[in-house]
Amino acid sequence: MPMTGVEHEVRDHVSYLTLNRPETLNALTPALRDRLVDLLAEASADPSVRAVLLTGTGRGFCAGADLRSGADSPSPRIPGDVARTLRTGAQRLIAAVLDCEKPVIAAVNGTAAGLGAHLALACDLVLAAESARFIEVFVRRGLVPDAGGAYLLPRLTGLQRAKELMFFGDALSAPEAERLGLVNRVLAEGELTKTARDWATRLATGPTRALALTKHLLNSSLDSDRPAAFAAEAWTQEINLTTQDAGEGLRAFAERRGPEFLGR
């Protein structure tokens, strides 16, 4: 197993990221967290990568930060340490997912708690095994939610549901998560990997730059007013029509054939 606890390979234009610390339910050490940030940045910059698939090994997707290591202790040594640690650590990881220029799929194979839950929810598409659980575990530890949770969750569930989940910290089953709009699909255990790979492969054959611009429009839509959203839409259209894939899509439509997108 790699020292950072993540397996990585690029195959058929998909960057596969597999958390591999099953003995800790794939809890994130600082080194693992930073490695994920680097791999997501590499996926954004690499034109041969056109989709990202994130999953875990064993019974957990990600149990959050590895607090037992003591590296991310919630008790500050001097004022400012905790805020700085969050900005450069958990928040940087969530931003790396949200800002990745390629679509990111989470295949949640088991427990996703705390930072691990927010890591999944930051992804563009979320598939979950029937055994998966999502837990806003912070209140159980006497902590305030971090890793962008108070930003992400209300945008997905609405304010009242987000408060319920964060105030009580109850485990949310995969079917309940799907009902609340946190999950795109709930799948039988044996179908999760296949479906996630099928979705990633489908995205990897799509118009990559158009998907990146669409992701930007959607992620920023809830933080902007109508004039700003319309202006962003107009400029993304302007930018996208300079891409090879946009030209190919229009030609394919005129020629009544399927497009062959190259991701450029």
Let me know if 129 is exposed, middle or buried by CB neighbors in 10 A (0-12, 13-18, 19+). Answer: buried
Find out whether 208 and 263 touch, Cβ atoms under 8 Å: yes
- CA gap 256, 264 in Å, rounded: 21
Q: Which residue has 């090994």 as its token pair?
A: 57
Q: Where do the structural domains in the chain lie, given as residue ranges?
A: 6-205, 208-255
pLDDT higher than 60, residue 16:
yes
Residue 173's SS3 state is strand
For 181-223, write each residue's pLDDT tens digit.
Answer: 999 999 998 899 999 999 999 999 999 999 999 999 999 998 9
CATH number of 6-205: 3.90.226.10
For 160-178, write each residue's pLDDT tens digit.
Answer: 999 999 999 999 999 999 9
Q: What is the amino acid identity at position 244?
A: Q
For 60-92, write each residue's pLDDT tens digit.
Answer: 999 999 877 654 455 556 878 888 888 989 999
Closest Cα to residue 250, out of 242, 263, 240, 259?
259
Classify domain 208-255 by CATH architecture. Orthogonal Bundle (1.10)
Find out whether 240 and 246 touch, Cβ atoms under 8 Å: yes
Q: Which two tokens stand for residue 133?
A: 């659980």
- CA gap 141, 117 in Å, rounded: 16
- Phi, psi of 7, rounded to the nearest 5 degrees: -95, 140
Task: Tell me what pLDDT residue 58 has.
Answer: 93
For 235-259, write each residue's pLDDT tens digit.
Answer: 999 999 999 999 999 999 999 999 9
Q: What is the amino acid identity at position 63?
A: A
- Phi, psi of 113, rounded to the nearest 5 degrees: -125, 145
